[in-house]
Structure 1
């Protein structure tokens, strides 16, 4: 019997289809075990190109098809269908949420581009079901409700259905039970996607991914079936396994990829990175490693240079690409499935080179525009008229034999030198931003454009340009392994974190074996432990395991081939069977940009009517004022935007305009941010208000105010005030001026004019449970009681506080903080619109009062994060090393050294390490310490801190409401956070935020 040892990799890109036949036992030899390779333009039907590649390579190599163990295919075909809004390839989807009363204010596709939502979403419903974070049932699925939904879906002839349950990734039994009820009630051809099989925690993001997966399913099934047929047409019935590469650098069996095509969306960069690992296995000291996976002793940087762009990513020591942070985005849709962290710059073989000469110096720019695929028509060396990076490379290196050298003879040596220096700086900057430590790192150059890159780079321990680098993507596909991830929440009440981690690791190994890995090859590749705030003895565990495919297993591909024979040409020849007509475009994919320089908010007779533009800016500013805590305002922003779009009016008034006897109510959410991203808000906030005023009928609110401006609660006052139940204005201020971890850390408590301020108070879980507290000895007691009840009510509740008078509000509130959020957000959006993100921090400083009030404390890269759970709060520390975060032309760094930021849900202080080993305090509470993403200006919350992020640290002087008295400093300063040996020293002098109402009000 012939041994099946050979592997075939084919990568179908937007321009070329690359292929290799490789012997994995010979990768340490000079030819890297590559028996044949192929590169040709991608065909309209990728299966034709795959078949052509296979035939060509077999003609080259004359190998016996019986020696081939696998054919692995990487493709951009599915993501392109979404990006291009291809109505022929995207099916209508029905979404059924098993979430009980939660999430009703953020319906499916709420944050999608209008044209894509109209194209895909055909029906949605919310039915009984869902779980709490600890696994308890919110409610059980109802068979009659599901039967009614099945009837509607049949009537609409919708071919794909998504089932999503609250916290289903922790326990998918409700989704499976609902699927069991639906299947016999729907046509046999209907596809069902269970969200728990698609992505991890994060309800909206998992739902988005599941919907896109369902939309592409019919097309994916036919396409992958064609792949099977193409392989069979060339290899015959040789029992070869057909795989498709997925986003994390591993493979799915063809049938599994047909069920989860979304896992392939960003596999292209991953294939190149994994192929690069194989090509340099000997140089990196990993000779003998199988599948390019095991025995990686050090990470290294991959730069994939194409015709237009260079994609740079970090291949970790475990052999897998570093993954992006929690969220990713495709075609304007936010999702949370795993994909590689890749940064692209406009540098490639076709990049256009421009030379500017003046008296002082010679200036050369490279890209970002490019001749792209037209390089053989337009580049100088091919007889064209456009100077490209390839032309300058040929002119400066006699060893490069591309086109006709004589056609670039006019390029002078000084121009070549300036060009080389610019390319070198461009690569050095992007590589430095992707590094996770200041140490030098090995850099591997692959792709057809690698010829333009220099042989040495600052920050690189060595630069490698291996043979066969042009088909690294196909090599990566051929040599990919198998992986699986377990993302779960477990109790550490009776077991140590280490013991639970060992259990979860075993689950990950078993899941990897089930996915097709040989058990003896499976290893743990990554693990992370995240304690959950406000939840006793609960941690989120994320473990990834990986191994080599077990080729002894045999899978039948006849079902996939049958799909092609039955439906194979439907999408190409009969698009009307997929959609009877393409929908109208609706609103543009991107929101119409306002002219920020001339935009004026609508303020009439001293009442501010908040628009969607205002809301976007306020939301951005709220998270920055959250100082690392408060939770992301994203879902709250979506809800308030929907309120505005439904015709409701969001009104904001100046606290100076309050009457003495006005009644100012307050409400907000309390609980774990992890619960909040999964268990979306229902009516608990409003229910708490209605219950409160049912108890205190004589004190109904005339105005609302936010408990804290920082984070998601910063929008709650406006959400409640604009609701149909209340329809009252919101005060431009709040009770913290930031985010703090406890309710007693509020300015009314600082003033201590009452024994307890916020009584009576209510707490509602949105599922029928209500807690009242009418008397207490202190606001701290109220805090302790409510925190204790949180875990019994699902660790996420809505609270309502007894109203205070207008006169008290004027004395106690931190004033104009909605205005401050608006100004901060405007500065961030303006920096993006004008492509001046490199000065966004300085713009924020100007908006909050200038350098006398606020400062840019540090710029650098996160190199360490530690977290632990103590008494319901996340305590930890983030370490940041100085780095060039803005791609300065000379690579200069504005800051040096290292800082550390301790946090208790929110950032507490900034300490800079001095040469003598002691710490210098750069900032400390109650001053605001915010960490923002240097690449986009958005706030980064403490749960989102991770290695490698480029960040800017801002310090803002706290309000005089906190710093004007010893009591204020005691409640909000260092001693309140256990830093007893430190004294509060303000960053600067507090500057009262400028009121939007005062500035823009007009009389009518």
Structure 2
């Protein structure tokens, strides 16, 4: 009979990887012991084809070595990469067909589910979709209520197709606490299709309609496989007589019950790197020092495997720094929380070549290390060989085999190169220039030197080879509340207190001890153009409550037994890819063009835009948005769909437009937060159609209101042959993005007042406002903004046409060409691995050093935002750093140019870049001599890792960025009125004068360069 008097205090952690299964047994009461860290047993062995066998062997071996009884175990926590492997490997035996029911009313029809997925993965997973009534506005008002009969009819179609996995996705469902539309739809589906798997999108991810749906789809597709896999994890625990919960680690370093993991396996996708980071932090517990606010200092974890080195920053709150708004899994874009990990091709199996100069990797012998490397009798020189040659006492292989493998000069060059590679990736991941502790873990850590520039100290703790399993064993409980609340009757501080308490309560319900719970992350994001609405993101975390282990689903519980009704099938996951290789193969599948020889289709002075052109234009538009304008991504997807459906999109040069032509205009207005949820329906065309009911002159051409941001694509979309079938003029009314309609070049010229009347706006849900006349363009703006707040905070606007002659006087010429060239420069830099010089490439496309400059390179170390009169004002602080290529060799000169700090004030768009001096008082007025650039010139912040623009809503602590300044069009700078409307005074910087960063150079026309007709 089991001894039930034994205290249940021990925690088992197991990491089931593609290569090895690691295990530890940890006694939390002894975790502060500097000699043992509470680790009383550990195990490392090759992963078995049947995960049950490997887990059972690991636990049995540890029980035997430490004389542990099953009755002493409080929890078993398992980390795994099995679920993400199923997606990466496109394994149809592990992926189910999924149906999607969207509660979206008239919206999102032009961006169907899986619209931006790789073709092969979409074909495997998406089985059916339907758009039905439903969805909310940002303020909680109904777009429309759900229709039960409509949903029941769709269920009959889903049943006919034999699909049993269903995703329900509703507009603004993450903030739907009253209507419960997704939940109500799920109840209807359950009645109509008994036994089906239903995933409500709001339970999987947060705001971002397409990205949340993508996550829910992947999650639904692997549910059946996840249940079988989790049974295979539970079975050995049950068979060994361990009566405790089997928990699964998730992406943020916390745990899920087996039941929750079987419902949301997607939450485990990035748990491997997170476990490694958390385990490393645990192993150096007591070594981390307190920072100025009393919290433990941040630390860098460097996990060196066989093929790559993965580096992540562990924040003072004990959790890994998370990625920015969007992540990518196997070519699928999601807004799912996952750790910010950077990888380089350096590992214990990296191949070392002795050509003209010594080089390392990025290729590796990988699994073949013990047969192919010289120290094990092979013929390939690897980093492990070099490490053993330098230190024969490592106890690896046969050291005599590598004697003389490197000359003294080669050995010195090797050590220097390894050191530089590690120092570069560490510096890239740092969030401040101060030295930071670096912890080395992983089997390849033997190749790392004991000292690294940028590291306050380098730590190689004992048991680092099983850091993943340790991270699993110590995983905590956490929850995130991401919501939008009204600040009309309560202050932001009061709301934060309420939301924090809500997050704490959810953490307790999830199994955390009340006394250990802390709020570890808080983010406050006022919404542009939305009255009294702010988005709050709060994370609470706490230690696992061991006294409540019996209340969480485990092998002996009724819920867990439901998972165990059948034994797992005998076909088990293919264990062909280690986690590091998965990351390399999980990129977006795109058609590669030879950028150096690519020519756009220009015939007889008409440019026919294709998908390659569109992708480049979209990239360029966001950069030209100077932080504003909203992401062009959803608009690019819509226009790409039109192209794939056979639409023709034409661009013509301004100089080719007849003087008596009528050049129409249209675009979106509203909050970027709304645009990521309420995807465009037919409101753009509806606004145009309603406008021309009162406009005598019908448009013969279209033009973009602003080239910056999402509106940069609207002229192309409206002019597509499947819409208005009109050519789009290669130009716009701003040459960038501005926050108001009166900040446009026709208003600058002031040849007639007002320009933007009559005007029509439509919300896509049946509401249209027409303003036949107005007293001024400023009044047009004020009235439109007032209506906007009652129309869902997002509308389409149609502006009256101007004559071709007027257009040619007022237009900022060739800006579609300019966006195309900027996007091409970014694509070429990526293709040629020249990310570190991308900023210079962009300025070169803008006219060279005389018309633009790279202002700064560094890391965002501070962001503040406030909401005033519907606009988000704020300030971004950037600290200088060397952001050059991760694998490049630092020549000692780069990075010296960018020192100190700059600040970028913004009002939706960036206003200026200003040097900050040490000791400068907060809130002090800027001095003219410290201004690096200011409006109307363009100040653009670009992601240093990929060259994509970063919008002001996306600014966050720790992002690596490049800041460039580009000369504004002479349509703005050529007159006093232009500088008044678009310059410093228009944004409240009356004490500063405009000083140009360079001389504007007219963009080179794509039509003029590539026209085949000559």
TM-score range, shorter chain: over 0.9
Alpha-carbon distance in structure 2 between the residues aligned to 1:518 and 1:225: 28
Structure 1 stretch 54-63 or stretch 745-754: which is displaced more? 54-63
Alignment-derived partner of residue 47 in structure 1: 52
Alignment-derived partner of residue 756 in structure 2: 758
Alignment-derived partner of residue 126 in structure 1: 131
Answering whether residue 889 of structure 2 is matched by residue 889 of structure 1, we say yes
Structure 1 stretch 41-50 or stretch 124-133: which is displaced more? 41-50
Alignment-derived partner of residue 625 in structure 1: 624
> How far is 1:567 from its partner?
6.1
Alignment-derived partner of residue 871 in structure 1: 869
Alpha-carbon distance in structure 1 between the residues aligned to 2:72 and 2:589: 51
Alignment-derived partner of residue 907 in structure 1: 910
SS of residue matched to 2:765: coil
Alignment-derived partner of residue 856 in structure 1: 854
Kindly indicate whether the alpha-carbon contact (under 8 Å) linking 2:279 and 2:470 is maintained by their aligned counterparts in 1: yes
SS of residue matched to 1:394: helix
Alignment-derived partner of residue 442 in structure 2: 447
> How far is 1:107 from its partner?
0.4
TM score, norm. by length of structure 1: 0.95
Kindly indicate whether the alpha-carbon contact (under 8 Å) linking 1:50 and 1:227 is maintained by their aligned counterparts in 2: yes
Kindly indicate whether the alpha-carbon contact (under 8 Å) linking 2:107 and 2:678 is maintained by their aligned counterparts in 1: yes
- Classify 1:929/1:184 alpha carbon distance in 2 versus 1 (closer, same or farther; 3 Å): same
TM score, norm. by length of structure 2: 0.94
Structure 1 stretch 722-731 or stretch 819-828: which is displaced more? 722-731
Alpha-carbon distance in structure 2 between the residues aligned to 1:230 and 1:162: 32
Alignment-derived partner of residue 267 in structure 1: 271
Alignment-derived partner of residue 396 in structure 2: 402
Kindly indicate whether the alpha-carbon contact (under 8 Å) linking 2:759 and 2:798 is maintained by their aligned counterparts in 1: yes
1:749-828 superposed matches below 5 A? 749-828=747-826
Kindly indicate whether the alpha-carbon contact (under 8 Å) linking 1:877 and 1:903 is maintained by their aligned counterparts in 2: yes
1:299-314 superposed matches below 5 A? 299-314=298-313
> How far is 1:568 from its partner?
2.3
> How far is 1:421 from its partner?
1.6
Alignment-derived partner of residue 155 in structure 2: 150
- Partner of residue 208 from structure 1, selected from 198, 211, 214: 214
Answering whether residue 993 of structure 2 is matched by residue 983 of structure 1, we say yes
Answering whether residue 979 of structure 2 is matched by residue 969 of structure 1, we say yes
Alignment-derived partner of residue 26 in structure 1: 30
SS of residue matched to 1:865: strand
Kindly indicate whether the alpha-carbon contact (under 8 Å) linking 1:762 and 1:799 is maintained by their aligned counterparts in 2: yes
- Partner of residue 719 from structure 1, selected from 710, 717, 742: 717
Alignment-derived partner of residue 233 in structure 2: 227
> How far is 1:916 from its partner?
9.0
Answering whether residue 631 of structure 2 is matched by residue 636 of structure 1, we say no
Answering whether residue 160 of structure 2 is matched by residue 166 of structure 1, we say no
> How far is 1:889 from its partner?
1.6
> How far is 1:167 from its partner?
0.5
Alignment-derived partner of residue 581 in structure 2: none
> How far is 1:28 from its partner?
2.1
Kindly indicate whether the alpha-carbon contact (under 8 Å) linking 2:621 and 2:708 is maintained by their aligned counterparts in 1: yes
Kindly indicate whether the alpha-carbon contact (under 8 Å) linking 2:302 and 2:312 is maintained by their aligned counterparts in 1: yes
- Partner of residue 540 from structure 1, selected from 517, 522, 535: 535
SS of residue matched to 1:566: coil
Alignment-derived partner of residue 496 in structure 1: 491
Alignment-derived partner of residue 11 in structure 1: 15
Alignment-derived partner of residue 189 in structure 2: 182
Kindly indicate whether the alpha-carbon contact (under 8 Å) linking 2:758 and 2:774 is maintained by their aligned counterparts in 1: no
Alignment-derived partner of residue 648 in structure 1: 647
Alpha-carbon distance in structure 2 between the residues aligned to 1:52 and 1:441: 39
> How far is 1:573 from its partner?
11
> How far is 1:900 from its partner?
1.1
Show CA shifts across 1:206-230 (max 9, x none).
0000000000111101111221112
Alpha-carbon distance in structure 2 between the residues aligned to 1:436 and 1:399: 37
Show CA shifts across 1:173-232 (max 9, x none).
1101111111010031x1000001000100010000000000011110111122111210
Kindly indicate whether the alpha-carbon contact (under 8 Å) linking 2:602 and 2:1010 is maintained by their aligned counterparts in 1: yes
SS of residue matched to 2:215: helix
> How far is 1:416 from its partner?
2.2
Kindly indicate whether the alpha-carbon contact (under 8 Å) linking 1:219 and 1:571 is maintained by their aligned counterparts in 2: no
Show CA shifts across 1:653-694 (max 9, x none).
111111122111111000000111111111111111111112
Alpha-carbon distance in structure 1 between the residues aligned to 2:190 and 2:162: 15
- Classify 1:311/1:572 alpha carbon distance in 2 versus 1 (closer, same or farther; 3 Å): closer
> How far is 1:589 from its partner?
6.8
> How far is 1:285 from its partner?
5.6
> How far is 1:773 from its partner?
0.7
Alpha-carbon distance in structure 2 between the residues aligned to 1:761 and 1:570: 66
Structure 1 stretch 125-134 or stretch 450-459: which is displaced more? 450-459
- Classify 1:853/1:133 alpha carbon distance in 2 versus 1 (closer, same or farther; 3 Å): same
Alpha-carbon distance in structure 2 between the residues aligned to 1:439 and 1:225: 47
> How far is 1:866 from its partner?
1.2
Kindly indicate whether the alpha-carbon contact (under 8 Å) linking 1:352 and 1:389 is maintained by their aligned counterparts in 2: yes
Show CA shifts across 1:411-451 (max 9, x none).
33332222222111111111111111111111111111111
> How far is 1:711 from its partner?
0.3
SS of residue matched to 1:667: strand
SS of residue matched to 2:789: helix
Kindly indicate whether the alpha-carbon contact (under 8 Å) linking 2:9 and 2:546 is maintained by their aligned counterparts in 1: no
1:257-336 superposed matches below 5 A? 257-284=261-288, 297-336=296-335
Alpha-carbon distance in structure 1 between the residues aligned to 2:176 and 2:53: 42
- Partner of residue 62 from structure 2, selected from 52, 57, 64: 57
Alpha-carbon distance in structure 2 between the residues aligned to 1:818 and 1:603: 14
Alignment-derived partner of residue 941 in structure 2: 931
> How far is 1:805 from its partner?
0.9
> How far is 1:276 from its partner?
1.0
- Structure 1 stretches (4+) deviating beyond 4 angstroms? 570-574, 914-919
Alpha-carbon distance in structure 1 between the residues aligned to 2:92 and 2:567: 17
Answering whether residue 81 of structure 2 is matched by residue 87 of structure 1, we say no
> How far is 1:262 from its partner?
0.2
Alignment-derived partner of residue 72 in structure 2: 67
SS of residue matched to 1:552: helix
Show CA shifts across 1:821-854 (max 9, x none).
0111111111111122222112111211111111
Alpha-carbon distance in structure 1 between the residues aligned to 2:183 and 2:32: 47
> How far is 1:902 from its partner?
0.8
Show CA shifts across 1:596-639 (max 9, x none).
11111111111110010100110000001001100000000000
Alpha-carbon distance in structure 2 between the residues aligned to 1:712 and 1:617: 13
Supply the RMSD in Å over aligned alpha carbons. Answer: 1.7
> How far is 1:960 from its partner?
0.8
Alignment-derived partner of residue 135 in structure 1: 140
> How far is 1:282 from its partner?
2.2
Alignment-derived partner of residue 380 in structure 1: 374
1:423-822 superposed matches below 5 A? 423-553=418-548, 554=550, 555-556=552-553, 557-566=557-566, 568-569=568-569, 590-696=589-695, 698-822=696-820
Alignment-derived partner of residue 577 in structure 2: none
Alpha-carbon distance in structure 2 between the residues aligned to 1:204 and 1:649: 25
SS of residue matched to 1:665: strand
Answering whether residue 253 of structure 2 is matched by residue 243 of structure 1, we say no
Structure 1 stretch 128-137 or stretch 223-232: which is displaced more? 223-232
Kindly indicate whether the alpha-carbon contact (under 8 Å) linking 2:24 and 2:43 is maintained by their aligned counterparts in 1: yes
SS of residue matched to 1:169: helix
Alpha-carbon distance in structure 1 between the residues aligned to 2:877 and 2:263: 41
